[in-house]
Copies of this chain bind each other. A is one copy, B any other.
């Protein structure tokens, strides 16, 4: 369970959008190394860089907790 892979999710969306890593990086305003690291599931990246990449790919982030309403 919970073998969710953020890197793969982003890579799939990037492919479907017809973008290379470099193109995605430029659109998101981050370096190509960052996109590469994200797709390799490196979690020490900065949160704002991840958000920038997700925004380009139209992926939204939601935070779920038992207390949420």
List A residues at the B interface (Cβ < 8 Å): 6, 9, 12-13, 16, 43-48, 50-51, 54, 57-67
CB distance from A18 to the nearest CB of B (A): 13
Residues of chain B lying within 8 A (CB to CB) of residue A54: 63
Our pick among B44, B46, B48, B62 for the contact of A62 (Cβ within 8 Å) is B62
Do B65 and A62 touch (CB < 8 A)?
Answer: no
Q: Tell me the number of copies of this protein.
A: 2
How would you classify the secondary structure of chain A's contact residues: helix, strand, loop or mixed?
mixed
Our pick among B45, B58, B66 for the contact of A65 (Cβ within 8 Å) is B58
Residues of chain B lying within 8 A (CB to CB) of residue A16: 67
Q: Give the complex CA separation of A43 and B65 in angstroms.
A: 20
